[in-house]
Structure 1
Amino acid sequence: MRYDPITPFRRPMTPALMDHRAQLDTPLPPDGLNKWEALRELACARNAYGLSDRDMTVLQALVSFHPDTVLGSGGAAPVVYPSNAAICERLNGMPCSTMRRHLSRLVGAGVIVRRDSPNGKRYARRVGDAKVAYGFDLSPLVLRHAEVCAHAEKIRAERDALKRLRETVSLMRRDLAGLVDWGRTERPDLATWDIYEDLARLAARDLRRKLDHAALETLRARLFAALTEVRDLLEPQESVTQTAETSTSHARNEQHHQNSEKDSHASEGAVPGEDGNVTPLTSRKANLGTDAQEDAPPAPSLPLRLVLLACPEIQSYAPHPVRHWHEFVAIAETVRPMTGISPTAWEEARRAMGPEQAAVVLAALLERFTEIRNPGGYLRHLTAKASEGAFSCGPMVMALLRRAA
């Protein structure tokens, strides 16, 4: 008659060990589980179980004593029974006391269970056709695999979100530093550039450390506010509103006299009003609710004048000087077919970046058109980065300015 022991040899019994031992009553799946896959998922989720990388190293050495790649194949309990000396030898000479301490942590976390013999030794023997083994039972790796995978996926999602947030903060810092350099040239009469430069330098210093999500979010909010203030200094809102009204009236007059301009307004997303006049969609977004504004991609953090200074080539396709963003977007819509970019790639870029940033990318692409072999593939690559929140057109524009200088 076979009897599976419950209590460990010469060790106190705890409620946690009792709960972990009760899990072994669940039958193993008939197909088992790949032991290396189980280790990979547990290594990702180890913090959820209070395990360190050294604990995982000991567990990997312990799992390597199992002869098969699949744990629990055929419903048999995967029990390994190496001696302490054999485990330490496989761990490249780790002290036995250190190894036992890591084994205790693995048992306490419930990823392995002790099956101690009457004298505490680890061994296996045949009883007829059956095999009785005393040692470490690896069944929890199979039985708790779904739970481990859930923890691993949550940790990966948090890690990816933290990475994207860090990339966003890094891009905003670079944009702020570049705008400060250009602002000193454009508006040397202002004394606030030192404040923004100090913020960019402090942000660069903070990014050298391993910041958590809360610290990065605070830094992102400060940089966003600074970028908004700098953009307002370089492109005052009063002049923008005035030029927007002037540009809209020009656009209406041109549409009235020239039918060819209808395609330009339609591609920009113009919507006819009740009086029959066409109003650009960009000017109508201000009348939408807050939900629609939050769902829309962010506008460029660069003044339009800076973009036109870095990308003069696109202005040659304009019938009159560009004074506002909706005019700039309309010119990009006209130039897009000449570059070989497909309508599908362009629409994906507009959704991911916003129409203004997509137009800036196309203008920058036009400046280096002879150097880019596949403009459509280049735009799709930037669109993928923008979908992950890891793209800003600021570094691209500043690089063109430095190149022109």
Structure 2
Amino acid sequence: MRPISHAHLRVIEEPDTPVSGKTVNKWELLRELSKSQAAFGVTERDLTVLQGLLSFFPHDALGGNAEMVVFPSNKAICERLNGMACSTMRRHLARLVDAGLLVRRDSPNGKRYVRKHGEERVAFGFDLTLLYRRSEEIARAAEAVREAENRVRRLREVVSLMRRDIAALAEFGEEIQPGLGLWDQLRDTAVLTARALRRKLPLEDLTQFRRQLEALLDQARNVIDGPETEEMVTNDARFERHHHNSNEESMDLEPGLGTAKTANVAQEDESPAPEESIEEPDTRRAPKIPLHLVIASCPSLATFYDGPIRHWHQLYDAACHVRPAMGISASAWEEAQRCMGPEQASIVVVAMLQRFADIRSPGGYLRALTAKAAAGEFSCGPMVMALIGRRSAA
């Protein structure tokens, strides 16, 4: 009664034998199909009709040796679908058949019914076998959709955190270098990004926002870092004071640094520029993030350390002071300094102090970060920026 189509040929191609194997919950399968509906070219209304058909199947599980043909009349289907128009229902049924999720098994007169001949049972209606056989394909498509959604969600969180960092840097930059147009640009970008994040943005738009914010963050850090970084790299006397002032108090904590200094002193008679051999390791490991940004992100340090912190060696002394109270062993502290450098290790310790309540094992956490630093996979910058983001969100 209907024109021949690929759907009718599919009935011939599929073997007319019972399906055996593991069973699949029909409602879980419907949820997976709902998640991956775009991959199969069906809509929510199509799935509503499929849900109505599944409700006529007497078992919750598809598969096994059970016959999976349902034979409700059009009137019964429409009643199950809360009075959907019959023409609308037939249109959605046709879409499900064309998508390869249902198979029509028509009787000679086009009606849907079941007939028994002794032990033999013949049913004419909609066969759910194809839906069952594609259950693994549907599950894979649904998992791919979830992974794509997770990528978008993670990227959205990154963009949101970068927006907070930009807003915090704009306020901080205005305090130390007022009047620059860059700070207005950062504030405007933060406001526009916040408005854009109210919408559901696709992955491409979020990636574009991330590139834009990364460029602005790098520009702002270069402006803020510039003078202090230059001072850290070029001021030889600062490095001499650092080693001289901290050597007596921390020789037992820094055997690596002490050995390095002893070696440098031993080479004074042979080398015409001994200060260069002292400065080179610290310059290579010097953190790019400015000291004042570290202090601003860790206000808890002022509670446990009373001295002024205006230079990196003072931050190092503060980290040495709070380290035992945090339960960090001397060996973990020594290893962190060896792999990170004293300045970056000090930043990590004070950042851990700021989040001390959230860290169950400070010593183990520091060793984990040290292992990442030894592999070249760690930078203290994101820790500080995350603390600034938490403060701005509070």
Distance 1:401 1:51, change over 3 A: closer
Residue 101 (structure 1) shift = 1.2
TM-superposed deviation, 1:164? 0.4
Counterpart in 2 of 1:99?
Answer: 89
**What's 1:28 paired with?**
19
Equivalent in 289, 297, 309 of residue 321 of structure 1: 309
Q: Which among 138, 150, 154 is matched to residue 128 of structure 2?
A: 138
1:63 aligns with 2:54: yes
| CA-to-aligned-CA distance 1:39-96 (integer Å, 9 cap, x gap) | 122111111001112211211111111111111222x331111111111111111111
How far apart, CA to CA, are the structure 2 residues paired with 1:110 and 1:36? 18
Equivalence for 1:376: 360
Sort the Cα spacing of 1:97 and 1:283 in 2 relative to 1 into closer, same or farther, 3 A. Answer: farther
The 1:32/1:201 distance shift into structure 2, 3 A limit, reads same
* Corresponding position of 1:207: 197
Aligned counterparts of 2:2 and 2:161: Cα–Cα separation in 1 = 56
Match of 1:88 in 2: 78
1:219-271 CA-to-partner distances (Å, cap 9, x unmatched) read 101001111111222221x421432565654444456x4373453587xx999
- The answer to whether 1:179 aligns with 2:169 is yes
**3-state DSSP class of the match of 1:86?**
helix
Q: Does the residue aligned with 1:258 lie in a helix, a strand or coil?
A: helix
Is the contact made by 1:51 and 1:106 (CA closer than 8 Å) also made in structure 2? yes
* Distance in 1, Cα, partners of 2:135 & 2:349: 48
Q: Deviations over 1:122-150 (max 9, x none)?
A: 11121211221111111112211121122
Counterpart of 2:108 in structure 1 is 118
TM-score of the superposed pair, with normalisation by structure 2: 0.74
Compute the displacement of 1:112 (Å): 1.1
TM-score normalised per structure 1: 0.73
Q: Quote how far apart the aligned CAs of 1:168 are.
A: 0.6
2:180 — aligned with what? 190
Give the equivalent residue in structure 2 for 1:240. Answer: 229
Q: In 2 relative to 1, CA 263–99 (structure 1 residues): closer, same or farther, beyond 3 Å?
A: farther
**Quick check: 1:216 aligned with 2:206?**
yes
Give the counterpart of 2:218 among 228, 232, 239.
228
Secondary structure of 1:192's aligned partner: helix
CA distance in 2, matches of 1:23, 1:279: 77
Q: What is the DSSP-based 3-state SS (H/G/I as helix, E as strand, rest coil) of the residue aligned with 2:181?
A: coil
Instruction: Summarize the Cα distance change of 1:402–1:208 in structure 2 as closer, same or farther, 3 Å threshold.
Output: closer
Q: CA 1:196–1:260 in structure 2 vs 1: closer, same or farther (change >3 Å)?
A: closer
Distance 1:402 1:116 in 2: 63
Root mean square deviation, CA, Å: 4.3
Q: For residues 158 and 36 of structure 1, what CA distance do their matches in structure 2 show?
A: 23
- The one of 21, 42, 45 aligned to 2:36: 45
Query: Does structure 2 retain, via aligned residues, the 8 Å contact 1:29–1:72?
Result: yes
Identity of aligned residues (%): 38
What is the correspondence of 1:200-349 to structure 2 with a 5 Å cutoff? 200-236=190-226, 238-243=227-232, 248-254=239-245, 257-258=247-248, 260-261=250-251, 263=253, 275=263, 284=284, 303-314=290-301, 317=305, 321=309, 323-324=311-312, 332=319, 335-336=322-323, 338-339=325-326
Partner of 1:5: none
- Is the CA contact (8 Å cut-off) linking 1:114 and 1:136 kept in structure 2? yes
Unpaired segments ≥5 residues, structure 1? 1-9, 287-298, 367-371
Are the counterparts in 1 of residues 305 and 318 from structure 2 also a CA contact under 8 Å?
Answer: yes
What letter corresponds to residue 305 of structure 1 in structure 2?
H
Highest RCO, 1 vs 2 (Cα 8 Å, sep ≥ 6):
1
Q: Which residue identity is paired with 1:28?
A: V
Unaligned runs of 5+ in 2: 265-276, 369-377
- Contact 1:329 1:359 (C-alpha < 8 Å) held by counterparts: no
Aligned length: 357
Q: Give deviations 1:159-216, integer Å, cap 9, x for gaps.
A: 1001100111111111111221232233223233222222112212222222211111
Tell me how far apart the structure 1 counterparts of residues 282 and 146 of structure 2 sit (CA, whole Å): 37
Distance 1:398 1:106, change over 3 A: closer
